[in-house]
A and B are shown apart, each in its own frame.
Chain A
Amino acid sequence: MRLGFAWLMLAVGMTYFILPLVGLTEFSLSMRRGVYSFDAYAAVLADPRFRQTFSYSVVMALVTIVFGVLLVVPTAYWVRLKLPGLRPYVEFVTLLPLVIPAIVIVFGYIRLYNTSSWLPMTGSTTGTNLLLMFGYATLSLPYMYRAIDTGLRTIDVATLTEAAQSLGAGWVTILARVILPNVLVAVLSGAFVTFAIVIGEFTLAALLNRPAFGPYLQLMGANRAYEPMALAVIAFAITWACMGLIQLVTRFSKHTKAAR
């Protein structure tokens, strides 16, 4: 009886997950009356604004990942190596973006970096793009930091550092050629989460008025019937791919460790 109940519970839960996805896919395929077709997808892919906003978001995601790695890897490494006493505080700060809603953070940006402020980042396109990138880096900080810090825990940072130093390596060499390759799997999973977050992000991009994929999605949703569903299927496929890749690299790293 207990087993039956467990199956029932699982079935109910999975229905909740799967039904909306089925509904979404079905709707995205029914643009042509009476038959299933890929018309909505064709319409979306032919839309130049889709290509513009999507590539904008992809570039933003990649830049955010590079910046996030450059910021978090040295910090997490340094805190583990030299300032272990500060770890709880740094960790607390990295978790703050989960506590403070994104809309409040971007509200602060608009107040602090408007055209009449001491650092008028919203005054130019490049400045706003940069601000948006910093915003994305903030939103992904909890995931990035935790992934990399967990990765660092599995290696002996102090010994690796001393070994590299005794061979004459400087800090940049140690970070780039000793530490980074050792935590690459952790960095990759942080990167994929960041990618998934940035691609669909709406609030920041909308309030900073940048032509990203999220606001485009919302705009299409307000004006069209079938195209937004096709876009949502694409967005879901990307999220799914990112999470799948995390699983893949984690499993891959387990195999290399077992073989050693």
Chain B
Amino acid sequence: MTAPSPAAARRRLPLNWIGIVPFVVFALLFLILPTMNIVLGAFRNAAGEATFANIRGLFTPSILASYWISIKISVASSLLGCAIGFGMAAAVVLGGLPRWIRSPVLTFSGVASNFAGVPLAFAFMATIGPRGLLTLWLLDQFGINLRVQGFTILSFWGLTITYVFFQIPLMILIIVPALDGLKREWKEAANILGASGRQYWLMVALPILFPSLLGTFALLFANAFGAVATAFALTGSSLSIVPILLFAQIRGDVLQDPHLGYALAFGMIVVTGVANGIYIWLRVRSERWLK
């Protein structure tokens, strides 16, 4: 750091805050206030009085079922995304593959994690949909009829498999730096003390990586939980997950109670907020080890 010059010191009026006023105004108007409005709306009734009735209204079987299936899809897609993404990242970083493979894999992950939304839904429709490439191939080659087996793309597994497409690359992008941080010395030290490869992984590497893994899981969870476009393009409104329910509520007040809609949105903020809180907390912890 250079010491501030006298000229700069003289110019330091207590008006420095003016420079970030545009940003503060923007953030307040288009991020903070709209969100606050929803949160406050969740605790008010139609007359504007404070109430918990809306939050209580969430605990009806149909809305709870929506949250439950949303959470199940998010957990399943995050687990699969974590597992496959970790496997691929480990293969690229530690598996002894040629070095040139690393850069294309990371670039591709950057593209694929941004390839979400409506086009992604179409890609999976064209692959595992009723007349999709894989569906027809399985039918022709092996006589396996996915529909007879009970699989449709408009289901829990259909949505989960689709979400995994953007979960894997996100996992790779976040976990590769963590794997890079595993020091060679730790493995050598473990080997000298007589540890097998398996013991090294179970007792050294995984405990060090654990906060990053769990934290990334939380991030992937929040990512899947808030996704609207893919689900809507894939299933219309036939699968009642929370974002779809909220979408229908905003469009046409399907719950027939605007304030219940705010409570629904508030519930989404709580779930993604908790997941992100876990991510931030664990990332701070993992950074102690991974420099």
Binding site for B on A (CB under 8 A): 2-3, 5-7, 9-10, 12-13, 16-17, 19-24, 26-28, 71-72, 74-75, 78-79, 82-83, 86, 90, 93, 96-112, 134-135, 137-138, 141, 158-159, 162, 165-166, 193, 196-197, 200-203, 206-207, 214, 217-218, 221-222, 228-229, 231-232, 235-236, 239-240, 242-244, 246-247
Contact = CB atoms under 8 A, between A and B. Distances in A.
Given A19-B127, A97-B31, A5 B23 contact: no
Contacts of B37: 108, 111-112
Contacts of B87: 9, 12-13
Given A19-B134, A214-B229, A236-B119, A103 B246 contact: yes
B34 A111 contact: yes
A78 to B, nearest CB: 4
A214 B119 CA distance: 9
A109 B31 contact: no
Contact of A221 (B5, B8, B121): B121
Contact of A9 (B4, B91, B114, B126): B91
8 contacts: A9-B91, A16-B165, A23-B124, A24-B123, A71-B23, A108-B36, A111-B34, A235-B119
Given A93-B27, A107-B265, 6 more contacts: A20-B165, A75-B22, A202-B228, A207-B247, A207-B250, A217-B118
Contacts, number: 253
B91 A202 contact: no
A135 to B, nearest CB: 7
Contacts of A235: 118-119
Interface stretch (B12-20, B50-58, B144-152, B174-182): B12-20
Given A6-B96, A103-B247, A240 B111 contact: yes
Contacts of A74: 19, 22
Contacts of A141: 31
B118 A218 contact: yes
A196 B84 contact: no
A133 to B, nearest CB: 10
Nearest to A67: B26
A15 B77 CA distance: 17
B95 A201 contact: no
B26 to A, nearest CB: 6
Contact of B35 (A13, A105, A158, A165): A105
Contacts of A135: 30
B168 A13 contact: yes
B257 to A, nearest CB: 15
